[in-house]
Structure 1
């Protein structure tokens, strides 16, 4: 399913190629887009009347449907999506299950309580120190979604619904299917949402098509490249509220004390899982494993453990042809650099469907394919110096250290600019209530209204 539109919206369709799959997509004119955004905007008053508990329950039921292995839309998605984004069905199964778990009722209520204290502020006036207060979501939110990780568009849509904001979701070429299919399931659970949700794809940057959106939207949630975000910002009216999630850089840090840990094989297995999951395409994907003050022997032992872990993971999550090709290109590139005298050491065989390398150069560039890059540093101070040019783009760091070191090293990483510090094996899937890119996503969308208590109750 390529689109989900409110009732009575039927547009001409055209065939578009997404990876290896041809899909029919709606092709609205600027005038039709204007009608759609005006319709969504006008639905805000009705959406605001739906109790938040009713919305949460509907999301929970839809997620429960999608968790069933034999749910027909899920089976169709698992058949189609590998042809577009190169993820294996086994990996997609895990990604779907991990993301769907965050959309169950207990996790959603945890988020609402974390960010609002009293979620009933979304339904009406609630007692506060000042008197009474309540919150309102935007009358229309435009979601611009990246396609590097499945489910990003759905999470964005859910965030909009949790603040009772009608949503126009622009899905990405790299993942055009799941959001529309999930929205359809959600509307089946709560038909009242049908007037307030639109999910479709169009070619980004179409200024004529996007002008009516920018003229009517009150908020934009953008999961996209820095360049794409900047291009839309240039055209945006000043009053629009922005939540932009641009390019981010993540890594792992292994302290020196852990290189002699008796459970090094287990640590390597979890770090390899973080690197393989999402095929290095997520903002939370580790672009390097930084190793503190290793000896040559310790690097070799660590490399052996990582290779064994990657061999196991390759059986569990077979790499697609596109991932294999990217890995092969990275291996060829590193072999040539090593031959030319660069401080690079290959710790895996060139014919394997993964690559483990030691890269001692100053830069920490991004990686492609199933590549684990080990970067030795003397200490965290050296890492801070290396990461200085990237401090505005840092996101997640897996911290592998002793319990005694954890707070000290976490404090140092936070000072560098890191926004999330997690355990090995958890990097690909942040907790539901995390502060995405250092912010409260739901609180950032709403406006507060205060009804002040009168100083003189008789006036």
Structure 2
């Protein structure tokens, strides 16, 4: 099966799972072309410099998935299938049903390339050519230490995102709706979910909190039943805010959303579950305030003009994505997750060099197809 065959088979799956952010075959083709230079590099030797090169995908990929978001596991499996690799999925209990639903939607010709494991398997792990791990930094280090030297390893560790509105003075209802979209998607549990919203004016924080409370109160989607452990974390965050005298807006016992205007010396994470902190941070103190995020910053949702000094600060902290407010949870298909180009780290290359090919042709002469037979 060629790469184009796999694209044709995977495209309908992407439409069934819009959370992937991949609309169809065009996006899948772009993924491969950006990573490999051309679509047929996995199927045959293609021109490269004065010779030829061929991309070699892992025969088997071992995926260690996180328990937070199903979509990260779906995307990881999709990329493995796009490469034509066999995929072994170590899936936490809370995500197994979502992954099983995804696998059952695969075309029959690709379903055999995906297998959900009941638990960690050292034998399966050792048999993989590549390992992809999602989770805490400790989890990343643990599995990387288990890898053989020749195994490809790709880790996605702990990351946090935030919203920066800077010196905005008059927040609008449209802006509040965009912020609510960012904090509500996935119950604020993913690496792209905003942990806090940074402003330079305390007065703006109060005005924005009022607008957010109106938007969130009217959002009919926020009507889920909280698990006991989620409810406990939300109540604890509210209790701490009240004890410290921080202004707070919430929905009472429904526990669907909480807005807190707080005063802290440095960044502190939220508990998630739509608990958003509005933090007043002057621009000249922003670097010190964000210091705990060094190396862990993922996405920054922005509104208005962003000074060059603030942009550079986000880059130096490790941000891999800057986007408009309201789009934090909808990265484009070619998004550099943690700064990595999709698929590239799962590929190795084989070069065919020499002044002449085995059939006597000079590689410097362009040809319609490389002079190598393809395995069928």
Matching of residues 190-209 of structure 1 within 5 Å: 191=109, 193-202=110-119, 204=120
Pair 176,406 (structure 1): closer, same or farther in 2 beyond 3 Å:
farther
Pair 336,246 (structure 1): closer, same or farther in 2 beyond 3 Å:
closer
Matching of residues 406-445 of structure 1 within 5 Å: 409-445=310-346
Return the match for 1:286 from 194, 207, 232: 194
Moved more, 344-353 or 229-238: 344-353
SS in 1 for 2:298: strand
Matching of residues 363-402 of structure 1 within 5 Å: 363-379=267-283, 381-402=284-305
Q: For this pair of structures, how many residues does the alignment match?
A: 358
Return the match for 2:179 from 263, 271, 295: 271
Unaligned runs of 5+ in 2: 363-376
Return the match for 2:86 from 166, 173, 195: 166
Q: CA contact under 8 A between 1:252 and 1:398: conserved in structure 2?
A: yes
Q: CA contact under 8 A between 1:392 and 1:417: conserved in structure 2?
A: yes
Q: CA contact under 8 A between 1:219 and 1:240: conserved in structure 2?
A: yes
* 1:177 counterpart = 2:97: yes
Return the match for 2:209 from 303, 308, 312: 303
Partners of 2:55 and 2:233 in 1: CA distance: 51
Matching of residues 108-127 of structure 1 within 5 Å: 108-127=28-47
1:63 aligns with 14
Shift of 1:335: 3.2
Q: CA contact under 8 A between 1:259 and 1:302: conserved in structure 2?
A: no
Q: CA contact under 8 A between 2:241 and 2:262: conserved in structure 1?
A: no
Partners of 2:103 and 2:324 in 1: CA distance: 32
Return the match for 2:70 from 136, 150, 155: 150
Return the match for 1:344 from 246, 264, 273: 246
Partners of 2:159 and 2:279 in 1: CA distance: 19
Partners of 1:337 and 1:182 in 2: CA distance: 40
Q: CA contact under 8 A between 2:263 and 2:279: conserved in structure 1?
A: yes
Shift of 1:458: 8.2
Moved more, 434-443 or 176-185: 176-185
Q: CA contact under 8 A between 2:62 and 2:87: conserved in structure 1?
A: yes
TM-score (norm 1): 0.72
Give the root-mean-square deviation of aligned CA atoms.
2.4
Pair 390,308 (structure 1): closer, same or farther in 2 beyond 3 Å:
same
Shift of 1:289: 0.7
Shift of 1:435: 0.7
* 1:97 counterpart = 2:8: no
SS in 1 for 2:153: strand
TM-score (norm 2): 0.87
Q: CA contact under 8 A between 2:4 and 2:39: conserved in structure 1?
A: no
SS in 1 for 2:191: coil
